[in-house]
Amino acid sequence: MYRDGETCLVATENATQVGYICYRQNLVCCKVDYLLVHPFHRGKGKSSEIVRLLRDKLIKEGVVVAEFDALPGVISSQIKNGKYLHVGEKKGFNGPLVVGQLTQDMKV
């Protein structure tokens, strides 16, 4: 699903797409719409690699914070454990979502 103003970064390995992250940027803020890693490449640090690529790109462009919603699982656990800033929780279409933020000074 494409949203107006959405940009995607694609991660590759050996010329094969292994994942991507799509986001919308507005001045100094960013909203991550989704991050997807191919099932064969999960558990290998690909999502962290993609987030680092996005963070580095956004820092160069003056963005100071990126916000995202996480389904129950690895990323929502990382938010709750302090890897990302825990902003809150909300009801999603298919269940609960944890809202997290990544700032330019956070290590990924």
Quote the domain boundaries for residue 52.
6-103
Q: Which two tokens stand for residue 3?
A: 């949203």
Digit-coded pLDDT (tens) for 7-41: 999 999 999 999 999 999 988 999 999 999 999 99
Q: Is residue 108 part of a domain?
A: no
Q: Is residue 10 part of a domain?
A: yes
Strand stretches in the chain, DSSP E = 6-13, 16-26, 29-37, 65-70, 85-92, 95-103
- Tell me if the pTM is above 0.85: no
CATH number of domain containing 32: 3.40.630.30
Q: What's the domain count of the chain?
A: 1
Assign residue 5 a region (left: φ > 0; alpha: ψ between -120 and 50; beta: otherwise).
Answer: left
Q: Is residue 90 part of a domain?
A: yes
Digit-coded pLDDT (tens) for 1-11: 567 889 999 99
Do the beta carbons of residue 90 and residue 70 sit within 8 Å?
Answer: no
Within 13 Å, how many C-alpha atoms sit on residue 92's CB side?
Answer: 13
Q: Is residue 1 part of a domain?
A: no
